[in-house]
Amino acid sequence: MSLILIKNGPSKFDLMLGLFDRYEARTSVFELETEEGRIELDLIIMLVGIHNRAEENWVVQLSTGGLVFKGWYNTKKREGVLECEEL
């Protein structure tokens, strides 16, 4: 499957809040650029890990419906890259 570009996403605070708030599925809005154009999706933050702390790059796993997105996200630039996987 082709790569999906994150063109605008949550702040570092909102990203971590979404990860640590486990009492309810908190979503964050991500603006994505796909082959069909730009879309906004509310995605559940399932996993955040260190990719490159100095550059504020994070490994992320996000989901919505029956789809899981894996990739990296830069909280300083609010950009990143995802790949989509079906559950």
Residue 15 has pLDDT above 70, yes or no: yes
pLDDT at site 78: 96
34 vs 80, residue with greater confidence: 80
pLDDT at site 87: 59
Query: Distances from the Cα of 9 to the Cαs of 27, 40, 80, 87, in angstroms?
Result: 11, 9, 9, 23
Q: Which of 26, 24, 13, 1 is nearest to 58 (CA)?
A: 13
Tokens at 68, concatenated: 């899981």
pTM beyond cutoff 0.75: yes
Taking only the tens place, the pLDDT of each residue in 23-66 is 777 789 999 998 889 999 999 998 888 888 778 899 999 999 88
Residue 5 has pLDDT above 90, yes or no: yes
CA angle 28, 56, 47 (to 5 degrees): 45
